[in-house]
Amino acid sequence: MERAAGSAEAPHEAAPLLPRPPAPSSGPCSARCALALLAHGALLVAYALRAALSIAIVAITGSSPPSGDRSAPGPRPPQAPAYNWSAETQGIILSSFFYGYGLTQALGGYGAGLFGGKLVLGSGLLLSSALTLLVPRAAELGVGVLVGLQALLGLAQGVIFPAQYTLWAKWAPPLERSRLMNIADAGCTFGTFSALLVAGIICQSLGWPLVFYIFGGVGCAWCLCWFLLVYEDPASHPWISAGEREYIVSSLAHQGSSHGRSLPLGAMAKSLPLWAIAIACFCTDWLFYMLLTSMPTFMSNVLHFDLRENGLLSSLPYIGNGLGHILAGLLADFLLARRVLGTAAVRKLFSALGMLLPSVFLVVVPYIGSSSTAAVVLLTLVLTIISMTGAGININHIDIAPRYAGFLLGVTNTFGIIAGIIAPTAVGLLVSQDLQAGWRNAFFVAAALNVFGLIFYVAFGSGTVQGWAREEPAAP
């Protein structure tokens, strides 16, 4: 089997064009599109829960800068506790989510392959919603308790993305993968947008504890919709049309069933296409998570926006990112359906757009002087264009190993989580030494990593199903 895996990986530079399946039997109101919207909502809630602390921490620490008219008398929010946490402490708190998040990625993908993506995703979202309700009490008990709670929140959310990929391996026809999965994934950025926009308003009008009570309650309510409306595969869906069921099943017939208890771990570890995805994910996630967790602080301390403006302006880049995800998916599927490019070429093209251009814009940010408008425009472009990777490295797992897509997503996401742990902590350390130079160095490091990751992915990425993904692993 090791030789088969090696021979399958050799011709990855010339991934074949996908065969044309029969015409789809249903349109935008199909069951698979409904799943994309429900998954979009689930990821929106999940990312709102994880981003809430990033904006609320400005109010929790009382670091919204008073200046000019912004300090004028006016309605004040209900009195809420404030904590004198240093920049280093804030970096540790914000990165603690990823301590747990990285531990359950591969486990979530493996469990979803055994027990189903619906159950695993829904359970992770419900638990993370319940834990969010406890954040104000944890902050009151101390930094250590809050760090522990954030790590538990990460453990709960770590299963969500791998479980979603397990579902898509059963629901997404090859020529619709990019758009269906990117519609769902756009929920991540729209969730971040919602959190950054709404949380700032709630902090100023109702007090920061209400951010976590409201968001946690909404998450619990959404879980009810998930368990009632989502089905594991087309065969178990009671309302899907016979034509759509046949179309999906026939389109996916070549990839085999979900994996069993055994996995071809040795072949996976030797797979250069898989390493290419993992390294590129580490590099892009460093940039993404750095901005996700630290941009509200940058807006407050460097650009001097107040809390309400901070939430609004920090959320603007995520509107572009969400729309970019959807447009990238549509364009990628168009190129594949029209046979303009093969799978490998499409994935590398969109990865190049999503990794190189944001690096250029990020390097420019420290040199624009005092123009806060220009900074917001550039950061918006960074997070808009990075969404192009949604049609590149982010869904490449399902191209090279659809049977193991959830598990592999968990593995490569673990690399991204490591970046998510290091990046906010590194930003906190750099900024604590020198505010302006610290942010400049943080942006340079993120840009350099993206360029390196792109070069490695272009050299070794693939668009074909690998040999080890076509076979059942040998019995022990």
- E strands, 266-420, are none
Please report, for residues 30, 250, 272, 332, 404, the alpha-carbon distance to residue 24 in angstroms, rounded to integers and kept in the order given.
10, 11, 34, 18, 25
User: Does pLDDT of 119 surpass 80?
Assistant: yes
**How deeply is 111 buried, as exposed, middle or buried, from its count of CB atoms within 10 A (0-12, 13-18, 19+)?**
buried
pLDDT for res 69: 40
pLDDT for res 22: 52
Close Cβ partners of 52 (under 8 Å, ≥ 6 residues apart): 132, 135, 195, 199, 211, 212, 215
Nearest partner of 382 among 370, 394, 365, 367, judged by Cα = 365
Q: Are 167 and 110 in contact (CB under 8 A)?
A: no
pLDDT for res 366: 83
Residue scoring higher pLDDT (256 or 346): 346
Mean pLDDT of 238-253: 88
User: Does pLDDT of 24 surpass 90?
Assistant: no
Residue whose token pair is 């193991």? 404
Q: Are 227 and 122 in contact (CB under 8 A)?
A: yes
Distance CA 243, CA 444 (A): 52
Percent of the chain clearing pLDDT 70 (strictly above) = 84
Mean pLDDT of the chain: 83
Structure tokens at 244: 């759509």
Distance CA 308, CA 466 (A): 50
Close Cβ partners of 265 (under 8 Å, ≥ 6 residues apart): none
Structure tokens at 242: 């016979």
Structure tokens at 6: 């090696």
User: Does pLDDT of 229 surpass 70?
Assistant: yes
Residue scoring higher pLDDT (258 or 115): 115
The set of long-range contacts for 360-368, using a CB threshold of 8 Å and a minimum separation of 24, is 360/447, 361/385, 362/287, 362/443, 362/446, 362/447, 363/443, 363/444, 363/447, 365/443, 366/436, 366/439, 366/440, 366/443
pLDDT for res 152: 95
pLDDT for res 307: 53
Distance CA 341, CA 335 (A): 6
pLDDT for res 88: 80
Nearest partner of 143 among 211, 93, 98, judged by Cα = 93
pLDDT confidence tier of residue 413, bands split at 50, 70 and 90: confident
Q: Are 406 and 108 in contact (CB under 8 A)?
A: yes
Q: Are 276 and 459 in contact (CB under 8 A)?
A: yes
pLDDT for res 15: 42
User: Does pLDDT of 244 surpass 50?
Assistant: yes
The per-residue pLDDT for range 135-162, each reduced to its tens digit, is: 999 999 999 999 999 999 999 999 999 9
User: Does pLDDT of 311 surpass 70?
Assistant: no
Distance CA 152, CA 100 (A): 6
Structure tokens at 271: 């797979």
pLDDT for res 379: 82
pLDDT for res 3: 37
Rank 389-398, 424-433, 463-472 by mean pLDDT and report only the highest.
389-398
User: Does pLDDT of 363 surpass 50?
Assistant: yes
Structure tokens at 159: 């299963």
Q: How many CB atoms are closer than 10 A to CB 140?
A: 12
Q: Are 197 and 315 in contact (CB under 8 A)?
A: yes
pTM (predicted TM-score): 0.76
Distance CA 356, CA 353 (A): 6
Distance CA 286, CA 350 (A): 18
User: Does pLDDT of 310 surpass 80?
Assistant: no
Q: How many CB atoms are closer than 10 A to CB 71?
A: 11
pLDDT for res 433: 77
Q: Name the DSSP class of 339.
A: T
User: Does pLDDT of 67 surpass 70?
Assistant: no
Mean pLDDT of 206-215: 92
Distance CA 220, CA 213 (A): 11
User: Does pLDDT of 25 surpass 50?
Assistant: no
- E strands, 73-174, are none
3-state secondary structure of 14: helix
Distance CA 20, CA 25 (A): 14
User: Does pLDDT of 89 surpass 90?
Assistant: no
Measure CA 361 to chain center.
Answer: 21
